[in-house]
Structure 1
C-alpha cells in the first residue's frame, strides 16, 4: 500500500482504478463512516470542511492527480484552528478537541503519500472512533463503531500486503480474525479493569444535557416534549406492577405563577417550614428498579410517593418537603437505583397554616374571566356550603362535559392562558389543562399547585421492563384539603380518560420507514420496536451500567469475603500472568509442531557455520555435503560421516512416506547427536 501519486492515464484506458486509488477510496469511505455520527455534535463548518476534503481527496485518487502542496495544508490548518477557537472560545476540552481531531484526520488524507502517512491516519481514525462515545454510548453507536473498527483494521492489514493487488475481502477476513482473537482480552479488561468513573465521560459532559423535564414550565413546553420519543427511564417491578392510573413518577413541583411561567415555590412567608412532608404511607409497597437515562438534572424520579431513600451507589439524595427526591449532582450518565413506593399515601399539613397562602397567589391583571368563573362557581346556589372535594368535582365535571379536547397542537396561547383554555380554545395538552385548573382553584380560594413528571409507560413483552419515554411527560395538580393534606387531582383524566388509565397516548408524527412498516404490518412494527428496546435495555444493563459495585459483587461471587480494589488488581494481574503462560506454552507447542526435518537440518547448519563453513539460510543438504567434500582434505575421516548423513537426510525427505519412513527420522536424529561435529573446518 504505497499511496504514491501515479501518472495520469487516459480516461479510455481506465477500466478499474489502480490499487493505490482503490485502497485510498476504501480508507476514505471508512473515515467518512467514522465521522458521520459526529455531525450532530460538530460545528456546521467542521462537517462541511471534512466532507469537502474527503471528496477532494477521492477525486485526486480517481484521477491520479498530484496531492496539494504543504502550503495549502498549512493554510487550511490555520483556518480550521481559528474557526475552532471562534466556535468554542478555547482549544481545550471535549468539544473543541473532537472538532480539531476531525479536522486533522481529514487534512491528513491530503498528504497521504507514504505508508507512514497512512499509519498516522489509522491512529487518528482509531481516536476519532473512540471520540464518538464521548457523546453517545448507545447500542446503535457501538454497532456502527464496530463496523468502523473492522474497516480500519482491514485497511491496516491491507497496508501490510504491498505485493500485487490482494482483494480487500482477504484483508477483511484477516482483520475479522484479529478482532475475534482480541475479543477475550477485551472482555476480561471490561470486566476487571477498575472503574472510578462512568465508562465514557469527561468533565464537560455535565453541561451537555439531554431533553427532558425542566425546573420551570411555560404553558406549551410539555406538549413539545411529548414529540420526543426517546427513553426517559426503564423500570423492572418486583412482582405485579401497579395500575396504569397509579403510575405517577414525581418530578419538579411548581407553585409560583407569573402569568406565563410556573416555577418552584418562592415563598414570602417565614412559616413555609410548616408545610413539611409528614408522609404517611398506606397500603402495600411497590418495589422496583429504575434505570434512569442521563438528563443533566439532579432529579431522582420515583413513583408517588417514596418515603425511604432510593438505593443509589456513590450519590447522596434527599427528599424535599414536596416529596421530590434530589441528588447531590446532576445525572450525567446512565443511573440505576432501587426504590420502594406507596401508591396510596397521605401527606402535608392537616390544618390550615400560614404557608398555604403561597399556593393561593395569582398575578394581578391576568386571566380575569377565569377569576370571574371562580366567583360564579363559588356563588352558585348548588355549591352553597360545598367543601373543597365538592368544588373540585364540579370543575372536573365541567372539563368532562364542556367540550374540552386533549391535543398536542392547541396553537399558541396569548397572555391570558387560562382564559383562552376555559372560554376560547377549549383544547390543550396536559400542562394547559393543569395550569388552567390550578388558576381556577386558586381563584376559588383553594390552595393548589402543579406537579410535573411522567405518567404511565409501556411494558415490553420481550424482557418484561416498563419503558417510560419523554412522550410520557405529564403535568397534574395537587389541591390542599383540610384533614387530608395534599391530594392529587389529574384534570387531564376528565378530558381524556385514556391518557392516564390505559396505554393510549397522543403519538407524534412517525418517520417514513416507521409509517410504512406500521401500515404494512402494525403488529410486526410493534414487535420490532419491542425487540429493539429490549436489546437497548440489555446493552444498558450489562454494559453501560457495569459499575464499580458490580465489579465488587463479582469478586464476592468468586469467593472474596470483603473485596477491594487490591483484590481486583491481584485478580487482573493473575489473569494477565496466566494468559502470558498460556501464550508461552502455545509458542512452545507451535515450535514442536514445526517440521522436525527442517528443525534438524537447521541445527546441522548452525554447527557447520560455527565451524567456519559459509552457508546461506536456504542451503539444501546435498549442497552442504558438497561443500564438506571440498574442505575434507585435511580431515576426511571426520567430515565424511557428516556428508553421508546429510545425503541420507535428503533421501529421507523425498522418500515415500510410511511407518518405517517415520521411524528412520528418529534414527537420523540420534545419529545427529553421535556425529563428530568439527570445531573448525580449514
Structure 2
C-alpha cells in the first residue's frame, strides 16, 4: 500500500476526536443506558483498531450486540429516537474498519450525520454549539487528510483554525438567507415519526408508579408570561386531563366527554390573560390555568375543560389563553356523569367503604362536612414521601390505613375513592401546580417535576370544587418555590449559598433558552411573512420570498466563488502574506516591479526609505520559499505585521 492511501497515525488521532465530537450531541439525547454503552463501545473500538482493522467476524458480532441493546431499550417500534440510536451505534463501530484515506473521508462524511440527527430530538442552543464544534473539527480533519494525501507538512494549528473560520464565514450568508427567506410551510410535507420511547409527561391515564419518572424530571414543561398580575399561589393550578373512570387500579378519561362542548360556568372577578410556551412532548394533552375560558386555534376544549391539541406537540408551541377561577362549575350534574363520578369497581377496598359509610351516617346530608373531615384526618396523620411500595389489590385501604404516606398520585386517588364511597361525586384532575418565576425574563417556568394530581368533588349549588388533599400535608408543593428561597436569602442580607447560586445560574440559562426559542424555534411562516414590516412591507408573499432568497443566494454564492478562487490562486499562505506586503508598498509608489526579485526590490525600497526591516524579511522569505527552509510561522507573522516606513523618500 503506498503513502497516498495509508492513513498516518497523527491523522487517525484527529479523525477519532472528530468522530467523538460528532457523536456527543446525539448521545446526550439518547437514554442514559444506551449512551453509556455506545460511548464505551466507541472507545473500545477506537483503541482496538488503532494498529489494524478489526476482523470482520468481530465487527459483525459487535453490530448484532448493539442492535440487541437497542431492541432491549426501545423495542421494535420504529421512531426518531430509535433511528438516531441506530445511527449512533453504527458510528461507534465505524472506526473498526478504518485503514486508508478513503476510509477516513468516508468516516468523516458519515460522522457529520450525527450532530444534525440530534436536531430531530433537541433543537436547543446546546445542540447547535456541539454541532458547530463537530463541523469545525471535521474541517480540520479534512485539512489533515489533504496534507497526508499530498505528503506536505501540516500548517500550525492557529493557521488551520483561521482557514476553517474563513470557510464558515463564507458560508454563513447563504445559511442565513436560507433560514430567513426560504418559504416555510405551516405544516410539514411529510409526517414526523414519533419516538419509540415516550417522553415523561402527562397522559390521559394514571396508575400506581406511573408518575415517579415524571416527578424526578426537572426539565421544562412550559413557560408562562402573564399580561398583568400573576395569580396567587393557591390559584396556580395548571389543569390537564380529567380522569373519571376507575377500574380499581387505573384512572382514565371518559370517552364521551372528548370533543363534547364544555358546560357553562359562572366565573369570579379574577381573570388572567397569558401566553403559554409548551415544550415538545409528542403528546396532545395541554394544560391551562384552572379554568380556561376558550380554546385557541388548533385546540379543543372538552366537556371536562381539558384542553387538547389537534396534533401531537412535536415542536415548541405557543398559545394565547384566558382563564378564570369558577364561582360555580356545572351546578346541575347530568345523571350519566353523576353515575360515572360515583362508580367504583366491586370487591375493592372494604375498609375504605366501611369508613365512608360511618362518616355519612355521622354527617347526614352535609357533603362539605365529609370533605373537611377527610382533610383534617390527612392533615393530622399523613406525610408526604416519594418512597412508597407498589400497592396490591386494595391500594386505597393500604394507603389510608397502613402507609399513611405517599405523594399526589396516592392522595388524589384515595381521596376520590373515599368521597365516592361516601356518595359524593368526585374525580381526579391531573396537571401541574405552582411554578417558578424567572426574574430575568419575568415569566413563570413550570417543570415536569411540578406535575400534580388533585381532586374535584361535586357539591350542591357550587358544582365541581377543587380539593387538593396533598396540600394538606405538603403546602410547600404550591407555596415553597425557588423564587421564595432566593427572596429569603436576599432579604436576610447574608451571602447566597452554593445551592442558591446554582439556582440563579439555572434561571439565567433558562432565560437564554427562552430567548433562543423566541428568536429561532418560533420563526414560523407567519413571522417570516412579516419579516420586513420595519421597512414598511406588511406582508411578504411566497413568490417575493423566493425572489429575495434567489437574489441573496446568488450574491452569497458569487462571493463564495470569488473568495475560493482567490484562495486557489494563492494557496501558499507565505506567498499570500508576501503579496499583501507588496500591496502596502504599492500604495506609496514603491511596489515591486514584475521583473524584480525579492532582494532587488527590497534594496530599492531600502534606498528610498532607509532603516526599514524589508531587506531582512526578503532574505527570510527567499530562504523559506526557494532554499527549502520550510514554513516559518514567525516569518509568516512578521510579514503580516510589517508596515512600510512613512518617512521622506531619498531617491528618484
Residue 235 of structure 1: which of 213, 216, 224 is its match?
Answer: 224
- RMSD, aligned α-carbons: 4.3
Aligned residues of 1:232 and 1:293 also touching (Cα < 8 A): yes
Note closer, same or farther for the CA distance 1:102–1:522 as it changes in structure 2 (3 Å cut). Answer: closer
Equivalent position of 1:499 in the other structure: 477
Q: CA deviation at 1:255?
A: 0.7
Equivalent position of 1:636 in the other structure: none
Relative to the length of structure 1, the TM-score reads 0.74
* 1:281 corresponds to 2:270: no
Q: CA deviation at 1:587?
A: 9.6
Note closer, same or farther for the CA distance 1:466–1:379 as it changes in structure 2 (3 Å cut). Answer: same
CA deviation profile, 1:447-501 (whole Å, cap 9, x unmatched):
1111001111001122222111111111111111222221111122222223234
* 1:23 corresponds to 2:11: yes
Q: CA deviation at 1:332?
A: 1.8
* 1:409 corresponds to 2:387: yes
Residue 198 of structure 2: which of 200, 209, 220 is its match?
Answer: 209
Aligned residues of 2:80 and 2:196 also touching (Cα < 8 A): no
Q: How far apart, CA to CA, are the structure 2 residues paired with 1:421 and 1:96?
A: 39
Equivalent position of 1:680 in the other structure: none
Q: How far apart, CA to CA, are the structure 2 residues paired with 1:201 and 1:49?
A: 30
Equivalent position of 2:350 in the other structure: 368
Equivalent position of 2:118 in the other structure: 132
* 1:188 corresponds to 2:188: no
Aligned residues of 1:458 and 1:467 also touching (Cα < 8 A): yes
Q: CA deviation at 1:540?
A: 2.3
Q: How far apart, CA to CA, are the structure 1 residues paired with 2:415 and 2:70?
A: 50
Note closer, same or farther for the CA distance 1:98–1:475 as it changes in structure 2 (3 Å cut). Answer: closer
Aligned residues of 1:199 and 1:544 also touching (Cα < 8 A): no
Of 481-490 and 471-480, more deviation after overlay is shown by 481-490
Note closer, same or farther for the CA distance 1:79–1:570 as it changes in structure 2 (3 Å cut). Answer: same
Instruction: Please state whether the residue corresponding to 1:408 is helix, strand or coil.
Output: coil
Equivalent position of 1:573 in the other structure: 550
Q: CA deviation at 1:80?
A: 8.2
Q: CA deviation at 1:208?
A: 4.8
Residue 410 of structure 2: which of 415, 432, 450 is its match?
Answer: 432
* 1:447 corresponds to 2:425: yes
Equivalent position of 1:357 in the other structure: 339
Instruction: Please state whether the residue corresponding to 2:211 is helix, strand or coil.
Output: helix
Alignment of 1:77-476 (within 5 A): 94=80, 98=84, 101-102=87-88, 105-106=91-92, 108-162=94-148, 163-196=152-185, 203-205=192-194, 208-265=197-254, 276-310=262-296, 312=297, 316-350=298-332, 353-380=335-362, 383-386=363-366, 388-400=367-379, 402-476=380-454
Q: How far apart, CA to CA, are the structure 2 residues paired with 1:3 and 1:108?
A: 21
Q: CA deviation at 1:211?
A: 0.5
Q: CA deviation at 1:564?
A: 2.4
Instruction: Please state whether the residue corresponding to 1:281 is helix, strand or coil.
Output: strand
Instruction: Please state whether the residue corresponding to 1:411 is helix, strand or coil.
Output: coil
Q: How far apart, CA to CA, are the structure 1 residues paired with 2:130 and 2:548?
A: 32
Aligned residues of 1:24 and 1:58 also touching (Cα < 8 A): no
Of 316-325 and 345-354, more deviation after overlay is shown by 345-354
Instruction: Please state whether the residue corresponding to 2:203 is helix, strand or coil.
Output: coil
Q: How far apart, CA to CA, are the structure 2 residues paired with 1:66 and 1:351?
A: 77
Of 441-450 and 127-136, more deviation after overlay is shown by 127-136
Relative to the length of structure 2, the TM-score reads 0.77
Which is higher, the Rg of structure 1 or of structure 2?
Answer: 1
CA deviation profile, 1:293-338 (whole Å, cap 9, x unmatched):
122221121111112222x5xxx21111100111222212221111
Q: How far apart, CA to CA, are the structure 2 residues paired with 1:273 and 1:556?
A: 39
Equivalent position of 2:512 in the other structure: 535
Q: How far apart, CA to CA, are the structure 2 residues paired with 1:42 and 1:369?
A: 42
Instruction: Please state whether the residue corresponding to 1:500 is helix, strand or coil.
Output: helix
Aligned residues of 2:240 and 2:287 also touching (Cα < 8 A): yes
Q: How far apart, CA to CA, are the structure 2 residues paired with 1:422 and 1:56?
A: 55
Equivalent position of 2:627 in the other structure: none
Q: CA deviation at 1:351?
A: 5.6
The alignment of Structure 1 onto Structure 2 pairs a total of residues equal to 577
Aligned residues of 2:259 and 2:301 also touching (Cα < 8 A): no
Q: CA deviation at 1:346?
A: 3.0
Aligned residues of 2:261 and 2:303 also touching (Cα < 8 A): yes
Of 271-280 and 97-106, more deviation after overlay is shown by 271-280
Alignment of 1:499-518 (within 5 A): 499-503=477-481
Q: CA deviation at 1:538?
A: 2.2
Equivalent position of 2:525 in the other structure: 548
Aligned residues of 1:276 and 1:348 also touching (Cα < 8 A): no
Note closer, same or farther for the CA distance 1:151–1:622 as it changes in structure 2 (3 Å cut). Answer: closer
Q: CA deviation at 1:431?
A: 1.9
Q: How far apart, CA to CA, are the structure 2 residues paired with 1:588 and 1:225?
A: 56
Q: CA deviation at 1:558?
A: 4.0
Aligned residues of 1:291 and 1:337 also touching (Cα < 8 A): yes
Aligned residues of 2:261 and 2:302 also touching (Cα < 8 A): no
Q: How far apart, CA to CA, are the structure 2 residues paired with 1:77 and 1:194?
A: 44
Equivalent position of 1:656 in the other structure: 605
Instruction: Please state whether the residue corresponding to 1:298 is helix, strand or coil.
Output: coil
Q: CA deviation at 1:621?
A: 3.9
Note closer, same or farther for the CA distance 1:533–1:49 as it changes in structure 2 (3 Å cut). Answer: closer
Aligned residues of 1:275 and 1:349 also touching (Cα < 8 A): no
Q: CA deviation at 1:149?
A: 1.9
Equivalent position of 1:640 in the other structure: none
Q: CA deviation at 1:429?
A: 0.8
Note closer, same or farther for the CA distance 1:457–1:43 as it changes in structure 2 (3 Å cut). Answer: closer
Gaps of at least 5 residues in structure 2 are 486-494, 570-575, 584-592, 610-652
Aligned residues of 1:2 and 1:114 also touching (Cα < 8 A): no
Aligned residues of 2:34 and 2:69 also touching (Cα < 8 A): no
Instruction: Please state whether the residue corresponding to 2:305 is helix, strand or coil.
Output: coil
Of 455-464 and 518-527, more deviation after overlay is shown by 518-527
Of 71-80 and 483-492, more deviation after overlay is shown by 71-80
Instruction: Please state whether the residue corresponding to 1:204 is helix, strand or coil.
Output: coil
Q: CA deviation at 1:180?
A: 3.9
Equivalent position of 2:20 in the other structure: 32
Aligned residues of 1:223 and 1:431 also touching (Cα < 8 A): no
Note closer, same or farther for the CA distance 1:580–1:470 as it changes in structure 2 (3 Å cut). Answer: closer
